[in-house]
């Protein structure tokens, strides 16, 4: 095991194995088993207390910048960052994350596009927002769309697996996985091709064209899932797999009865969908132009989530009609109490606290009051607090630590 690993310099191998040993030790700490069991109960609507998860996202470049990495090769640095991020969670982000002591090898799966590629107007700022540059100009352009095709490079998969075994055997269990995270973003795909503003106009001026586009995208996604099934690429995600727009998949409800190992069906998996572009669209239009298409895709799966950063308060009754709905995103812009009244204890109230509290004046008492008010309003709900879309912490990583400590203190009051 201590020998060479193909494609990785010996010095890099030593660094990675030492980090892997640290991860293995962390994963065996009793708190990880406790958290895992809490997530299982939570996801099965038997909560212990409000759960807390943090995803630094854009702030990772401030928490774990590239200069921290010691490896030389690009592949080794990718692996190193993954291992160091798990260690960072354990040492600095005391949320309810479960650090798993295994190394996942992703199958070499590629998916072709839709026949047209999005074009963007670049921002003058490094992390600024790009603008839309439509490539679908009229209904005839819809004929240029093609259905995605899936390809599995089995030789590349075998190479990845062999490298992982050579690197981690005896330290971390190595597990080969296929497609675990399944999420549908039909409106996002189309808006990038048509332009967001034009899609808004199309609801009034060219509704038939918009329906035709959604039909194509729905059929393409059905075919995509069918290809995953035919190629044996679907993977169970009733574990720590990221789900929907925040949350993890630990549950004993999946896989569904009749499951046979190695033959994953859609009914054995979590899935999700969102349509943030429809945030300011009326419930009837949301229902007509996007939800009808998403529902048929989600109906194939065992448990589902819906939403992201859009305010769904006035659309929740429609969201409830999605089969086997479980996790619903309540954005920072949604009214907490009215949403709580509607969800009750029948769904996971996946609340997204406002990430702006991490910048500017970091007012701990204001944060505490904000979280207390939300949890008071959601008493009786199955609540998770998911801090995400954190694009910066102004190079003050200790703010994440303190935010989590406050959130955990508040959550304990509502056990």
pLDDT > 90? residue 114: yes
Please indicate whether residue 338 or residue 1 has the higher confidence score (pLDDT). Answer: 338
Query: Is a pLDDT exceeding 60 seen at residue 169?
Result: yes
Q: Which residues of 249-277 are buried (b: 16+ CB within 10 A; e: fewer)?
A: bbbeebbeeeeeeeebbbbbbbbbbbbbb
Distance between CA atoms of 37 and 28, rounded to whole angstroms? 14
> What pLDDT score was predicted for residue 366?
98
- What is residue 100's predicted lDDT score, i.e. its pLDDT? 98
Q: Among the listed ranges 119-128, 230-239, 336-345, which one has the minimum average pLDDT value? A: 119-128
Q: What is the DSSP string of 300-330?
A: TSSEEEE-SSS--GGGHHHHTTSTTEEEEEE
Reported as a pLDDT band with limits 50, 70 and 90, residue 1 is very low
- SS3 assignment, position 169: coil
Q: Which two tokens stand for residue 311?
A: 């305010």
> In this predicted structure, what is the pLDDT of residue 18?
98
Whole-number pLDDT of residue 3: 59
- Preceding amide of 255 cis, omega within 30: yes
Band (pLDDT 50/70/90 cuts) for residue 47 is confident
Report the percent of the chain where pLDDT is more than 90.
94
Q: Is 51 a residue whose pLDDT tops 60?
A: yes
- End-to-end alpha carbon distance in the chain: 46
- How many Cα atoms within 13 Å fall on the side-chain side of residue 147? 13
pLDDT tens by residue, 61-91: 999 999 999 999 999 999 999 999 999 999 9
Q: Residue 147 and residue 391: Cα distance in Å, rounded?
A: 34
| Burial group, residue 129, by CB count within 10 angstroms (0-12, 13-18, 19+) | exposed
- The partner residues of 174 in beta bridges, in order of sequence, read 103
**What secondary structure letter does DSSP report for 150?**
E
Question: Taking the domains of the chain in order of start, what are their residue ranges?
Answer: 10-413
E strand or H helix that includes residue 152? strand 150-152
Own/partner contacts of 156-164, CB < 8 Å, gap of 24 or more, are 156/108, 157/105, 157/107, 157/108, 160/105, 160/106, 160/108, 161/105, 162/6, 163/5, 163/6, 163/7, 163/8, 164/103, 164/105
Contact in structure between 330 and 339 (CB atoms under 8 Å): yes
Mean of all residue pLDDT scores within the chain: 96
Which of 405, 407, 357 is CA-nearest to residue 383? 407
Query: How many whole angstroms separate alpha carbon 102 and alpha carbon 165?
Result: 11
Please tell me whether residue 382 adopts helix, strand or coil conformation.
strand
Q: What is the mean pLDDT of residues 89-116?
A: 98
Residue 356 has pLDDT above 50, yes or no: yes
pLDDT band at 129 (very low <50, low <70, confident <90, very high): confident
Mean per-residue pLDDT for 123-139?
A: 89
Domain 10-413 has CATH 3.40.50.2000: no
Reported pTM: 0.95
Identify whether the C-beta of residue 383 lies closer than 8 Å to the C-beta of residue 47: yes
Q: Taking 70 as the threshold, does the pLDDT of residue 2 lie above it?
A: no
């Amino acid at each position: 095991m201590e020998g060479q690993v193909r494609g990785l310099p010996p010095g890099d191998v030593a660094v990675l194995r030492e980090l892997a040993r640290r991860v293995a030790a962390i994963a065996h700490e009793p708190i990880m088993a406790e958290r895992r069991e809490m997530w299982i109960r939570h996801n099965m609507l038997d909560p212990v207390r409000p759960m807390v998860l943090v995803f630094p996202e854009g702030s990772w470049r401030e928490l774990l910048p590239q200069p921290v990495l010691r490896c030389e090769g690009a592949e080794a640095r990718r692996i190193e960052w993954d291992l160091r991020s798990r260690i960072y969670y354990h040492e600095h982000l005391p949320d309810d994350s479960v650090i798993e002591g295994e190394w996942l090898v992703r199958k070499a799966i590629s998916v072709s596009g839709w026949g047209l590629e999005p074009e963007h107007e670049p921002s003058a700022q490094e992390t600024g927002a790009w603008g839309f540059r439509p490539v679908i100009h009229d209904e005839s352009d819809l004929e240029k769309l093609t259905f995605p095709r899936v390809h599995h490079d089995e030789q590349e998969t075998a190479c990845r697996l062999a490298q992982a075994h050579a690197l981690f055997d005896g330290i971390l269990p190595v597990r080969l996985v296929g497609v675990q995270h399944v999420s549908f973003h039909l409106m996002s795909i189309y808006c990038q091709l048509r332009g967001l503003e034009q899609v808004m106009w199309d609801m009034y001026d060219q509704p038939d064209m918009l329906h035709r586009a959604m039909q194509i995208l729905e059929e393409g996604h059905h075919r995509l899932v069918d290809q995953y099934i035919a190629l044996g690429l679907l993977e169970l995600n009733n574990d720590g797999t990221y789900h929907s727009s925040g949350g993890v998949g630990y549950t004993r409800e999946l896989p569904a009865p009749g499951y046979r190992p190695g033959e994953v069906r859609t009914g054995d998996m979590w899935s999700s969908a969102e349509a943030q572009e429809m945030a300011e669209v009326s419930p009837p239009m949301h229902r007509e132009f996007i939800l009808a298409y998403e529902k048929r895709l989600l109906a194939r799966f065992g448990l589902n989530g819906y939403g992201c950063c859009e305010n769904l308060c006035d659309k929740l009754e429609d969201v409830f009609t999605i089969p086997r709905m479980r996790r619903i995103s309540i954005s920072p812009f949604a009214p907490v109490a009215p949403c709580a009244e509607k969800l009750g204890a029948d769904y996971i109230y996946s609340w997204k606290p406002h990430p702006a509290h991490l910048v500017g004046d970091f007012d701990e008492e204001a944060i505490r009051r904000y979280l207390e008010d939300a949890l008071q309003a959601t008493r009786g709900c199955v609540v998770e607090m998911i801090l995400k879309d954190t694009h910066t912490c102004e190079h003050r990583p200790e703010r994440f630590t303190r935010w989590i400590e406050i959130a955990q203190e508040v959550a304990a009051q509502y056990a």
